Each structure stands twice: as structure tokens, then as C-alpha cells.
Amino acid sequence: MFQFVLRPRFAVAELSVASRIYGPGQPMSVDDIIKEQLNTASIGIPAEFNLDRYPKRSYVVQYNESDLSFISRLCERNGIFYYFKQEDGGETVVFGDKNLAFTSVKFGGRPAISYAHQRDRKVPRGVDESAVLSFRQRRVLSTKTIALRDYNETVPSVVSVDREVGQGSGFLGKASRFGGHLTSEAEATTLAQIRAEQVCASQTMYIALSDAPELRAGAIFKLQGHPRFDHEYLVVAADHSAYRPAPAGFRAFAQNGRAYQNMVHCIRSEVPYRPVAMTPAPLGAGLHTAKVDGEAWNGRAEIDDQGRYKLQFTFTEELAKGRGSGYVRKLEPYAGPNRTGLQFPLVPGTEVLVGYMNGDIDRPVVIGAVHNPDMKPGVTSDTHVFNRITSQSGARIDICDGPA
């Protein structure tokens, strides 16, 4: 007995694990990032994109993730699905965000597949005639309302949106989520609609047993001859099984049945399909090391009109100068309105420790600067009786706590 696993070429993306930053210097949309990932894959991966336009972001992090996991979680966040279109020369991975991206299938020239429950079948089928052998509906209770809420520090304000998923006895409760890096109310509204469609897509599912190899994930098919469920459906998952020795004909009968069967999960074709958000995002836990970056202004760091810094993170390969990150806020010991505060600007090359808002790897904050052997502190074992402030130019204030 032996077992083998047949996977598409896209699966090689699981073998590459990396930490990268996308967007600094040249903001990128989610499809821009996916295309760059595929273009740098170890083998060619044919792809098609049937997507709307997506906002460009200046800072998106892949952190200790396989390329496959990174692509999958970006897709799931934005409601983008992918499936594989089988062709003579191989498969093509198709990315889409509307059901129009899926392909309708025929069955030996017939536009629909017949329902033919085995106990009700009186006339034997031909060798090349496929059929749906059983078909049932499964419904589950689902969330009634999706609520998204986040704090947008660039405005600054709280972004909050509620979206009703559905009505009726099958929808109950409210799912509130804080975080998610919502940059505007418009984006929050779009993402809330996507989350609602994710819930709706899995609320009512149809499960079919058939011997039609045309029924695979991403296929739209029409069912006929069922007493209740004649309709057009979209296959969202399929389990295939076959055995040898196979009799003549792919669908031909053997002594104990046919050589091939599948079980498919499908939804009505007019229901928008959205993939379930199941790929975990890396958690920005602990502190990460970075160095202050940017073009030097007479030895000063490049900061913007909000006092934010550019950084070069040590967890990724060094990018071009000034493009290691977008502008990042710095935690200060004292701040307030009317430019109130206590600020000591950092200089290029300074080592800093970085934390993350809500643990979101895409939302860094400089927690503080640290010394190292190359940048020694002004107070050491030899000068431990001094409290010292030293500027970059050498200006210094000393408060001595030693003996009088």
C-alpha cells in the first residue's frame, strides 16, 4: 500500500519562509504584493487576477511566514478567494473577489447534471453519463450583526461600523471585533460587508455525492431533476476518491460501484463567496530591534511633520536608505496639546526597540532608544554619580549626586 499527494505548483509557496516589508517608498495594493510574491517564486506559477481596485498601503509586513500563509491571510482579510483552473498545459491559480471569476461547467455537452438517487433510479445510466447521487442541505445558526471598531492614530479618531448579516430566526447575536488596522470609515464599511458575506457564505451549505469529475472547487453547475433543490450552485470544496483497477470508461460501473466518486460542498451561485479568515496573522509580541533610518540632515534623522521616524528593522534584509519603513511614531515621556512635550530627536543609526499597537505587526511604535557597544552611554561605571543630558553637538548638562 502506498500514498502520494498531488498538489498544484502554487504549493511551492509553502516552502519559502521569510520576513519582508512591502510598501515603503512605493505603496502597494494587495494584488501588487501577491503578484510580486508569485514573480519571485522558485518556479513559474501561472496566475489570473479578476479583482477590483484595492487601496495602496505604505507598510505591510510578512513576518516569519511562508509565502503561502502570507498570501492567504492577505486574501482572507480582503475577501479575495483563489482556486485552480485545470488546463492541458497545467493549472492556473485564479484570484477573484466576485462569483463572476468562477467557471460554469457542462457535462458531456449537457448544460445541467441530473439528480439520480440510487434507490429511485429505474433506468440504468450510460458509461459516460454522470449524476448527482445524493443532495442535502445543511443550515447553521449565524451571527446577526458584525461590528468593527478600531483607533486610527493618523486622524486621530475611533472608527466604528456595524453591518447586519441577515434577518430571520437563523441569525442571532452580535460579533464585535476591535483592531484590524482600519484606516478610514470607508475601509471599515467595506471590511464589515466582507465579514458579513463570509458568514452568509457558510450559513447554508449543500452537500452532494456525485460521480462527475467536472465538479471541483470553483465550478458553477446546474442541478436538475431534484424534487426540492433544482438550482445553480458553486462548488466551494470537493473530496475526490477513485480506485484501481478501473473498468473501461472513467465513470464505468465495477462490481461494487463506479471507479470514481466525489463529495462536494456548494452554495447557491448568487450568494457571494468569501473565504473564511482562518490563516493566523503573526503577533507583534515582545520588542523588535531596529535602527533609525533616513537621509541624514546634517547628521539628524529624517522626521516628518508629526515627529515620526523611518527605521531599518533587523528582522528583514536591509532595504534602500529611507525605505526600511514608513514613518513610525515614537513614545515620549511627556506629550500634550499646543506642542507640549519633552522631545530629544534621535540620530541616524541609533538602536531602538519597537512595540506594536494591539499586537499588530503592521502598526509599529518606537518604545525607546538603547545603547550598545558601538554607541556607549554617557553614564557608565566611571561616571555613575552623574545625571547627564548630552546633545549631539556636545552640549551637556550634568547633575552630580556625588560627595560634596
Q: Does residue 81 have a pLDDT over 90?
A: yes
Q: Is residue 358 very low, low, confident or very high in pLDDT (cuts 50, 70, 90)?
A: very high
Model confidence pLDDT, tens digit, residues 29-70: 999 999 999 999 988 999 999 999 999 999 999 999 999 999
**Terminal C-alpha separation, the chain:** 88
Residue 1 gets which letter from DSSP?
Answer: -
pLDDT digits (tens, 9 = 90+) for 228-280: 999 999 999 999 988 776 555 555 555 555 678 999 999 999 999 999 999 99
The SS3 call for residue 292 is: strand
Confidence of residue 294 (pLDDT cuts 50, 70, 90): confident
> Which helix (H) or strand (E) covers residue 47, if one does?
strand 47-50
**pLDDT, position 247:** 53
Examine the pLDDT at 208 and tell me if it is beyond 70. Answer: yes
Residue keyed to cell 463506479 = 258
Question: What confidence category does residue 127 fall into, taking pLDDT thresholds of 50, 70 and 90?
Answer: low
* Average pLDDT rounded to a whole number, residues 150-162: 93
What tens digit of pLDDT does each residue of 308-357 get? 999 999 998 767 776 788 899 999 999 999 889 888 889 888 999 999 99
Q: What span, in angstroms and rounded, lies between the C-alpha atoms of 261 and 210? A: 6
pLDDT of residue 2: 75
* Listed residue (149, 204, 148) closest to 171, CA to CA: 204
The pLDDT assigned to 393 comes to 80
As beta bridge partners, residue 328 has 309
Give the containing element (helix H, strand E) for 68.
Answer: helix 67-77
Whether the per-residue pLDDT at 120 is higher than 90: the answer is: no
Q: Quick one: average pLDDT of 151-171?
A: 92
Task: State the DSSP code for 279.
Answer: S
pLDDT of residue 39: 93
| Residue 119 pLDDT greater than 60, yes or no | no
Task: Please give the pLDDT value at position 404.
Answer: 63
Residue 185: is its pLDDT beyond 70?
yes
pLDDT at 369 over 90: yes
Q: Distance (Å, rounded) from C-alpha 238 to C-alpha 225?
A: 22
**pLDDT score at 351:** 95
Per-residue HEC secondary structure of 84-145 comes to: EEEECCEEEEEEECCHHHCEECCECCECCEEECCHHHCCCCCCCCCCEEEEEEEEECCEEEE
Residue type, 378: G
Structure letter (DSSP) for residue 72: H
pLDDT for the residue 368? 95
Pairwise pLDDT comparison (218 vs 293), residue with the higher score? 218
- Spatial strand order of the sheet with 142-152 comes to 157-164, 142-152, 171-178
Nearest to 64 by CA among 369, 357, 370, 313: 313
Delineate the domains of the chain, giving CATH numbers in brackets. 1-101 (3.55.50.10), 102-277 (no CATH)
Q: How confident is the model at residue 107 (pLDDT cuts 50, 70, 90)?
A: very high
Mean pLDDT calculated for residue range 83-104? 93
Q: What is the mean pLDDT of the chain?
A: 89
What b/e sequence results for 113-144 when a residue is b if at least 16 CB atoms lie within 10 Å of its CB, and e otherwise? bbbbeeeeeeeeeeeebbbbbebeeeeeebbb
Residue 317's pLDDT is: 78
Which three cell numbers mark 404?
A: 560634596
* Cis omega (within 30 of 0) for bond into 245: yes
pLDDT at 264: 97
Looking at residue 182, what is its pLDDT? 93
Report how far residue 346's alpha carbon sits from residue 369's, in angstroms, rounded to the nearest whole number.
8
User: What is the maximum alpha-carbon separation in the chain?
Assistant: 111
Q: Answer whether 101's CB lies under 8 Å from 47's CB.
A: no
Query: Distance of CA 296 to CAs 59, 272, 346, 370, 402, Å?
Result: 22, 51, 11, 20, 38
Q: What is the pLDDT of residues 132-148, one digit of tens each?
A: 999 999 999 999 999 99
3-class SS of residue 189 = helix
Give me the percent of the chain exceeding a pLDDT of 90: 67
Per-residue model confidence (pLDDT) at position 89 = 82
Average pLDDT over residues 287-311: 84
Per DSSP bridges, beta strands 253-254 and 257-258 are antiparallel
- What's the gap between Cα 378 and its chain centre? 45
pLDDT at residue 375, rounded to an integer: 87
- Cβ(316)–Cβ(291) below 8 Å: no
